[in-house]
Structure formats: structure tokens, C-alpha cells
Amino acid sequence: MKSTLVRQSLAGLRLLLVMTAILGVLYPLAVWGVSRLPGLRAGAEGSQVVVDGRVVGSSLIGVDPVPADPARDPYFHLRPAASAQTATGPGDPSATGGSNLAGDNPELLAAVGERRAVIAAREGVAPERVPVDAVTASASGADPHISPAYAELQVARVARVTGLPEAEVRRLVAEHTSGGVLQERVVNATELNLAVAAAS
């Protein structure tokens, strides 16, 4: 009886050691090794954006910048976040997600109307010119992409504040626009803001 218990305990211990080596060492090393293959490394590292040897963000995560002086706002802004405390303010990055409000919810309609008025005033245009993605929150609240129409709406302000010619700002927008025939065209505002800062 005792020898059977010892044999079973040793067999269990051997299995534990083998599985620890396979699942705790070899498997993680294999996954890490695959992530080093060409074309996979950037995604495995979080698609980091590096400027002057310093990581300044991720091309997959949008954080809406807050200007120190709203009257001299040099940034392209993202879609609003459902967790934002103000109409167009940045959301809480620890609480990403949509509002889960129905399209005809009075609270959502009021928020959209308030956002449209604030953005129209900021860009100096009629409220009807403000595109839909400028006033509706993304599902995650951390989407770095905006529509080309929303980027175009912001070009004049960014050019005026940064001192760059509008044609140069439009060129930067075009460089950071992706998509096309089978995908919706989008502008990566995170990378665009870094390009504008470098150019100005």
C-alpha cells in the first residue's frame, strides 16, 4: 500500500516537472520566438511609436490630446469617448467602452448635439458640416482612427495654429490615411499629430 502511494506521488511529481518545463518554459519561449519573425515584431511589441529613441505611444491606441491653451489648439482630435466628463474632453483610459445607449436615447442625442456645437465652434464651421464620427463615441473609446472628413475639418485650425501651410497639413493627412477599395478609409490621428509636431 505504501509503495503504491510513493509510486503514484513520484509519478505525479514527474508529470508536474515535465508539464512545468513544457508549459512554463518551452511554450513561452516558442511564442516569444515566433513574435520575433519579420512582420510580427511590431505587433508583438504593442505597435509602439518611437520618436528620438523614446516610446511616445502606440499606433493602435488613440489618446485625445488636451491643449494647454484651447484657443491655440494644434492637435487633430479623435472621436469622443463615452467616459469623457465634458463634451469633447478625453475619456478615462482605464474605463474604455461604448455608452451602450440606443440611437434614440435622449441622453445620447443631447450629448451628440452638445458635441456638434462645441466642435463647430472650435473649427469655425456650421454645425451641419461636423461629420458623424466627430460626435459619436467609438466602441472602445481608444480608437486612433478618424474619418478623412473629420481630419479635413480640422486642417485649417491646425495649419493656422502651427504655422504650417494648409497644403502641407493636407499632405500629412494623406500620408497617414489608409484603406481604400475593400476597407473604409481612415486617418491615424495619433501618428498624424506626431508628424505635424515634427513638421512644425
C-alpha separations of 133 from 61, 62, 70, 126 in Å: 17, 14, 21, 16
- Is the pLDDT at 104 greater than 90? The verdict is no
| Residue of 148 and 183 predicted with greater confidence | 148
Is residue 57's pLDDT more than 80? no
Weakest-pLDDT range from 27-31, 105-109, 187-191: 105-109
- Higher-pLDDT residue of 97, 38: 38
Of all residues in the chain, the percent with pLDDT exceeding 70 is 84
Q: Evaluate whether 23 touches 29 at the Cβ level (below 8 Å).
A: no
In this prediction, residue 135 carries a pLDDT of: 86
Q: Which three cell numbers stand for residue 20?
A: 512545468
Convert the pLDDT of each residue in 115-139 to its tens digit: 899 889 888 889 999 998 888 877 7
DSSP assigned state of 23: I
Residue 171 in this model has a pLDDT that exceeds 90: yes
- Strand intervals (E) in the chain: 48-51, 54-58, 145-146, 177-178, 186-188
Q: 3-class secondary structure for 107-124? A: HHHHHHHHHHHHHHHHHC
SS3 (DSSP) at 36: coil
Strands 145-146 and 186-188: antiparallel
| pTM for the full predicted model | 0.72
Residue 89, pLDDT > 70, answer: no
Tell me what pLDDT residue 88 has: 65
